[in-house]
Structure formats: structure tokens, C-alpha cells
A = this chain, B = another copy of it.
Amino acid sequence: MDRVQPGHHTVRGRQRQWTGDNVSNILKEPKVDNRECLLMASPDNIASARAHSNIAFIKYWGNRNHKLRLPANSSLSMNLADLHTTTTVEWSSALTVDSLAINGSPAGETALVRVRQHLDALRRRLNTDLRARVDSTNNFPMGAGIASSASAFAALTLAAVTACGTALDERELSTMARLGSGSAARSIPPGFVEWRAGDSHESSYAETFADRDRWDLVDVIAIVSRRHKRIGSSAGHRTADSSVLQPARVESAETRLRAVKIAISERDFERFARTVEEDSNLMHAVMMTSNPPLFYWQPLSLAIMESVRHWRESDALQVCYTLDAGPNVHCICRASDAPAVAAKLRAISPEIDIVQSRVGGGATVIPVPVSYRARLRVS
């Protein structure tokens, strides 16, 4: 119900009005001939999309196929309404190379290479050899454990497909986003999202498990460090199998997935907290016992984790923690408890910044931002 915000996007040189609020509007359109993208190439093959970050309750760590990013286990997350990436893609015959700007500046080589690889995959699917100008803006710090690659590759995928005048259904958008960044698969559908591991490109996609109004959870993120990760997630996933603990984590993931789905369905916070913390601890256990060992926790992360357990067990505050591949501590609680959790976090250390988010919707096509056109005119 919240997949597309009403608005405009531009395809093949004309404005098209979205009147619905669901990406299934796209799905119901007859698929266009993908070769059209090439034939219709013009400076107006442009579209913008917005996708939200997500926080996993059952983690994705390790792949059964690295090239296709087929994950070792199914995972489950909630989208984060207030943390998003807005990406504009313009396919143009006037371009000889893909270009990438992040937050208004030309991207570094590492990001550019990864985006070009993803554009290559999209070009194959869209049957085009046009090059793209990509402009991506996050409203949150990158590389500090808030999954910027998830929202970035989800927004990039939707914008690129839409700018090409092509309509893919949510499932295929999710599979395509997955090729760029595994967790991006989960930033395509809205609400509480399950990514089914699958065993092929087509069968490994995410879909909504529960609408975002199922439970008024909030992610109160304690920002411990804004430094970039020394070892990013993509490299990290490749180390997972070097831990003797990874098979046991993977084999037991289905059990935790079921438990967290029941907990969300029944709004059972105690079961939710126990399962989410266990799953986070298991992923970090694998990370710390990999070769080389990956320690994402910082001393302050550990202090916050201990505090969260204490607040829940001794202060009867319904809150639990989960950490991605970074030092920031995501404190999950009910919306009514979020101010108390934020205040307690600030009291631990003045070094802790707080970012909060409610449950978010899916990736949506949005009007091309005025700022984007303004930047183009200047450059």
C-alpha cells in the first residue's frame, strides 16, 4: 500500500503521471520490448527512485554463490523510513562512459567500479549498450554500518530500469538489486521483508512478510563511529566460510527466521528481542572467528549492548540490539519507548549520536529532483 509515492517520472521523453500508490501499477503494464531502450535512446531517458535502508533482524552473512550473491541463508529485515537514498539515472547515447556522483561529488574508484558492474548487469537485462549518468544522494552517513549499499543499489536498480522505459515486477527488481548488493534485495519491497535465499538468480528475491503498520517498531541507532569500515560487507561475505562456526549459524537460521516471524505476527517483544540479539551475536561470532578475524564491535558498541540487555532485563524497557557489519548499535523498540531509549543512549556517552527511523516503505519512483536538473545545467 505504500510502494510508490504519487508523483511523476519521466520515461522516453514524456512525463507520466502515477496516480496509484503501489508499484504493482508498474507490474500490470505489459512488458515492453527491452530493445526499445536502445532504440529510444535520448537525453530524456531519465528517472529517479528512492529506496530505504533496512535493518536485518535475521542476518545475511556469507554466500552460496558470490557472483550471483545467492545468500547462505534466508534473512528478514525492516525498511527504515527515515534513511534513504535518492538516485537519478540517465541513459544517454551522448555518454561514452558511466559516471557516478554520490552526495553531489564524483565517486571514488571503488564505488564507481561496483556501480559500473551493476550497470553492466542491468544493460544485459535491459538489452542496451547505453552508458548512464548516475546521481545518488544519501540522507545518512555512508560506510558506518548503516547499510547504504542496500538503499543505493535498490534505488539505482529501480531508477535505471524505469529510465530505460522498462517495467519489471517487484520480484525481478529485487533479484536485480540483489546482484548489486545482497541486502538491496530487501530494500525493494515495503515494510517487514523476507529475502528467500533460493538456489538460483530467479528464486533468490525478497518480498513483504508484514506491512509496516503491523508493528510500530523504531530503530534507534547509536552512531558510535562515522569512520568508513576497514573491511566492507562484500569482502566480509567472502570470509564467512572460513569460520568453523558458519555452517551452524546457517543451519539454525531457519529456526530463528520462524521465531522472528511469529514474534512480529504476535507482537511478542520478548521472543523478538531474544531471537534478534541471538542472531546478531551469531553473525558477529562468525565474523570474529573468520580468517582473517573481523571485529566490527568497538568498546562503546559492547558497552551499549550490555546496557540494552540491562534495560530490558532490569528496567523492563522493551528494547533489543542488533549490529550489522559496523560498530553502530541498532536499538529496536516500540515507538512509544523510542524517546526513553534515545535518552538512555545519550547518557552512556556524549560521543554517541542518535539517528531514528520508523518502519519504511518499498523502493519508489519519484519525480526527478529539481536539484538534479539544476546541477546538470551548471555542469
Contact = CB atoms under 8 A, between A and B. Distances in A.
Contacts of A291: 278
A278 B290 CA distance: 8
Contacts of A281: 288-289, 293
Interface string A268-284: 00000000011001101
Contacts of A289: 278, 281-282, 285
Given A244-B252, A248-B245, A288-B285, A295 B299 contact: no
A95 interface: no
B282 A245 contact: yes
Contacts of A251: 244
Interface residues of A, number: 28
A342 B245 CA distance: 33
Interface of chain A: mostly helix, strand, loop or mixed = helix
A160 interface: no
Interface stretch (A147-155, A258-266, A301-309, A354-362): A301-309
Interface of A: 244-245, 247-249, 251-252, 277-278, 281-282, 284-286, 288-289, 291, 293, 295, 297-300, 302-303, 305-306, 309
Contacts of A282: 244-245, 289
Contacts of A286: 285
B293 A302 contact: no
B285 A245 contact: yes
B303 A299 contact: yes
A282 B282 CA distance: 11
A312 to B, nearest CB: 12
B244 A248 contact: yes
A238 to B, nearest CB: 18
A300 to B, nearest CB: 7
19 contacts: A244-B251, A244-B252, A245-B245, A245-B249, A245-B282, A247-B248, A248-B248, A277-B293, A278-B291, A278-B293, A281-B289, A284-B288, A285-B286, A285-B288, A295-B305, A295-B306, A298-B302, A299-B300, A299-B303
Contacts of A288: 281, 284-285
Nearest to A298: B302
Contacts of A244: 248-249, 251-252, 282
Contacts of A299: 299-300, 302-303
